[in-house]
A and B are shown apart, each in its own frame.
Chain A
Amino acid sequence: MMTIENFILITILSPLIVCVLTPFISKSTILRDCLGPIGGVVSSWGAYNIMSSALNNQNITLEIVKIAEGISIGFEITPLGAIFGLVASFLWILAAIYSVGYMKGNEEKNQTRFYAFYAMAVHAALCIAYAGDLLTLFIFYEVLTFSTYPLVTHKQDEMAQKAGRLYMSILVGSSVILLLPAIIWVWVATGSLEMSQNGVLDGKLDVAYAPLLLAMFVFGIGKAALMPIHKWLPAAMVAPTPVSALLHAVAVVKAGVFTMLIVLTNVFGIDFLAKTGASEWLIWLASFTLLATSIIAIYKDDLKARLAYSTISQLSYITLGGALATSMATQGATLHIITHAAGKITLFFVAGALYVGAKITKISDLNGHGLCAPLIFLAFFIGSLSIIGVPPMAGSWSKFFLMLGAADSGNEVVIGVFCISTILNAFYLMEIPARAFFFKKERDIKVKIPKLVLIPTLITSFLTILLFFFIEPFQNLTSMMVSKV
């Protein structure tokens, strides 16, 4: 009989084992390439079991290392973490298969190093998902940053060097200068690094300091990419597309918004935020980021850059949901982690497929090529609909809850923001299938998409439809998360 503690270990250790093994079996390419997907399957099996136990409302904690008195690395299952862990580990299977196809198709160098750090990044993301206290969260937040650096700069040329510099300086700088003291402040104020479902700060922190502390957290969590610390995300697009897909649309940025949600719900607590109004300003900042980046996205001709800005805008949905501080909005924000992950990874997969298959990176080059690769563009279309929030795609659920939450909190303006942003989403995403299918072809190109790239893309796009019908277990978890509050 497996205990849940073992499942935690299985989930977080399998990517680490993949990372460690990869360099040793690099001689046999096939074995090395299979390792990632296998690790993904094992890891998501564990994550699935963790989620079922979270549904049964079991309280599970696991201490790994005691560093010194009062500080330790430990894990704990929260509903939010269970969801994020399952999303990250499951999508890793598909992304691992996809990256094999992509790296082969593109004949990239240093593939072994790439796979090793890829797995390392997933490991860090999963550790963040199950982090039991603020310190563990911070530790793996940093591990995630550093393990993605070799991936972002994979090409090792001048562009990559510049992007890598920006990436590191924003992510490391913000987390070290703001996030770390914020965490230590909580430690000093409450006397421990623990988090709890109801928040830990009520009565421990002078209310006047609450907005300041929140600001330190918000700007310290650079991975959530709120303006003005969003620049690293477009810069990171120099990375090979599998990195952009899994890490910069799912694992890294979701780790950012996950941390943000955890801070809002489990450190401050929704009630404390609602009572003090400490997060009022965050609503406006997130709304602004949401609209501004959508508008910027319209003007980006580079497909990955447009998707990057779209990602920033979608992340702000999640932050905004947390900042609204109502139970509906928090549920919507959490569901958006899942639905956006499925949708956005599809879009990135398509962008990568177009690059591998036809070396297309610009949207204006897509004119009329729809019929050369109909399946790919169909997948993109489905993914876009989910992001826009059209039923029967998963994205409609999270938007629905977010709007309900906005109404609950009495912020009618925010509902307007959501509506405008939906229109903008439609505008900048629909252009791509529209150009592909309806514009006149300018030149003939040959599109040859490897199967290992195509299949994961189709699966994820199918997933966005599937999630619409099977959202219930996730919704149960999110309502558990807020009902305890």
Chain B
Amino acid sequence: MTDILIKNLPIIVVLCPLITSLFVVLIPNIFFSWVLTTLSTFLTFLFSILLYQEIQIHSYISYALGKWMPPIGIEYIIDKVAIIPVIIISGISLIATIFAYKIMPEEIEKKSISKVYSLWLLAIAGLLGLVTTGDAFNLFVFLEISSLASVALVAMGAQKDKQALVAAYNYLIIGAVGATLYVIGVGLLYGITGTLNMEDLTNRISDLNNNKALIAGFGFMIIGIMVKAAVFPLHIWLPRAYAYAPSAVSVLLAATATKASLYILARILFSVFENSEDLINNTLLYVILPLSIIAMFAGTIMAIYEKDIKRLLAHSSVAQIGYITLAFAIGTKASIAAGFIHMFNHAIIKGGLFIAITSLGFYIQKRITINNLSGLGRTMPITFFCFVLCSLSLAGLPLTAGFISKLYLIKATISSDSIWIAILILISSALSVVYLWKMIEVMWMREGRKIVIKENPTIYLSLIFITFLNIYFGLDASLVVDGSFEAAEKLIEDLK
């Protein structure tokens, strides 16, 4: 029994949320639909932990779906790289689901809750499929599953604020354009190579050095994924979507959605197209690097001037995605590792911040703008304390996870002789303190309305847990750091 389980793990991780999503929709009771969702995300997380252990032994697992051998059949690949986003997505979904218990019924009417949970699981399944599949077209399928589910989830915010519909529509259109671009790229590649399996693609591409169709296909694919990953300036769907989605959905999307696409980006750049060195180097140097630097500053500056807190955090996400793509753009082993470290750390940081902010919104029953935060630090010490710690982690201050990311990122840039990039990163991260401090100061300094609010354990437990993770991975980062370096080694080895 366990043998079968272990053997089929790569697909079970995806199937677990996918199948439960079909059943959740049938349960009318709010509580039981939540229990089933939690159970399913918990199992998914458990399976990904098992998968992690498998990876430590085998370091590479290829799974042929339905025993159709690749490259004809669809192949699922888990290696030391793919396991990182798998753990991030399944872990964060579990935390977000637990957090959703109290928040979700508050914002969504009773009769649609089970449908929301169904979409929720569907989105998770899509994201997990996205990172485990080894087939370029199958990837498109999962891309669409996750996008459509997330769009519908964002639209559910309309019960509270009609703006959510606009946000969801934007997300849908831009997301669809991105996906279409990607699939055009896949089509072109299929035309010249006759295969959809990624590994097979890699081998066949090596013979077609300067084929125009190859370059065009690569361009389409990359831009399509960059839309999904919200790389500046293709991020415009993101702030609205995060801001108007129901609270729990913001948490889930902010922490996981772009991470999956960023991983795909890394995989296309360093693994699928590893044999077209000129193409990759030019893309990194002339496209990704400048865009990342602009993203770092644009996102931060937008965040400084933003009044709506959820949007503010979304802008900050754009900047943080900039750090990750910047790390990829430098393209050394150390910097790619730094990118993966930050991918993991940013997930727990942003997850924590969104949980903190949305729970504040839950308590005061208002949209959270900077003015509504006045004095909340004094009335809600626990939430405030966790919020401050997660903010410090985002700003990259010592003893938090964010510091580890920054440390390795700066070290990687300095070792690759680009001190000016290091200074730019530091200036932008110092600027990020400005908007974080703006919020902390308002909560701490200003007198607020005299309200007595009792913080709710079902809400703050997940917050405390994710804050704890921020501190824990700041003190004992070897798991993340080693994992990321192994991943980077794998990708770079591919590149050679």
Contacts and interface: CB of A to CB of B under 8 A. Distances in A.
Given A172-B433, A181-B426, A67 B478 contact: yes
Given A69-B478, A146-B392, A184 B444 contact: no
B419 to A, nearest CB: 7
B410 A180 contact: yes
B411 A69 contact: no
A138 B426 contact: no
A173 B476 contact: no
Contacts of A184: 407, 410-411, 414, 422
A407 B224 CA distance: 69
Contacts of B478: 66-69
B460 interface: no
A139 B398 contact: yes
Contacts of B208: none
B430 A177 contact: yes
In this complex, the member of B430, B437, B441 whose beta carbon has the largest number of chain A beta carbons within 10 angstroms is B430
Given A68-B404, A176-B433, A184-B414, 8 more contacts: A68-B478, A161-B441, A168-B433, A176-B429, A177-B426, A184-B411, A185-B414, A187-B411
22 contacts: A65-B475, A67-B404, A67-B478, A68-B482, A69-B482, A135-B407, A138-B398, A139-B398, A139-B403, A146-B397, A160-B445, A165-B437, A168-B433, A169-B433, A172-B433, A176-B426, A177-B423, A180-B410, A184-B414, A184-B422, A185-B414, A188-B411
B74 interface: no
B477 interface: yes
Interface of A is mostly: helix
A165 B426 contact: no
Contacts of B404: 67-68
A172 B391 CA distance: 14
A316 interface: no
Contact of A188 (B403, B414, B423, B476): B414
In this complex, the member of A138, A172, A188 whose beta carbon has the largest number of chain B beta carbons within 10 angstroms is A188
Interface string B454-479: 00000000000000000000111110
A71 interface: yes
In this complex, the member of B403, B407, B478, B482 whose beta carbon has the largest number of chain A beta carbons within 10 angstroms is B407
B481 A68 contact: yes
A311 interface: no
B415 A188 contact: yes
Interface residues of B, number: 32
B396 A176 contact: yes
A226 B404 CA distance: 29
Interface of B: 392, 396-399, 403-404, 406-407, 410-411, 414-415, 419, 422-423, 426-427, 429-430, 433, 437, 441, 444-445, 474-478, 481-482
Nearest to B422: A181
Contacts of A65: 475-476
A471 B426 CA distance: 43
Interface in A153-167: 153, 156, 160-161, 164-165
B407 A71 contact: yes
Contacts of A71: 407
A142 B445 contact: no
Given A146-B397, A176-B396, A177-B423, A69 B481 contact: yes
Contacts of B410: 180-181, 184
A164 B430 CA distance: 16
Interface string A213-251: 000000000000000000000000000000000000000
B478 to A, nearest CB: 5
A173 to B, nearest CB: 5
B377 to A, nearest CB: 10
Nearest to A172: B433
B419 A156 contact: no
A135 B445 CA distance: 32
Interface string A39-75: 0000000000000000000000000011111010100
A140 B444 CA distance: 23
Contacts of B399: 139, 143
In this complex, the member of B396, B427, B445, B478 whose beta carbon has the largest number of chain A beta carbons within 10 angstroms is B445
Contacts of B407: 71, 135, 184
Contact of A67 (B427, B429, B437, B476): B476
Given A181-B410, A184-B407, A67 B477 contact: yes
Nearest to B431: A173
Contacts of A177: 423, 426-427, 430
Contacts of B474: 67
Contacts of B398: 138-140, 142-143
In this complex, the member of A172, A184, A188 whose beta carbon has the largest number of chain B beta carbons within 10 angstroms is A184
Contact of B445 (A143, A153, A187): A153
- Closest 4 interchain pairs by CB? A139-B398, A68-B481, A68-B478, A68-B477
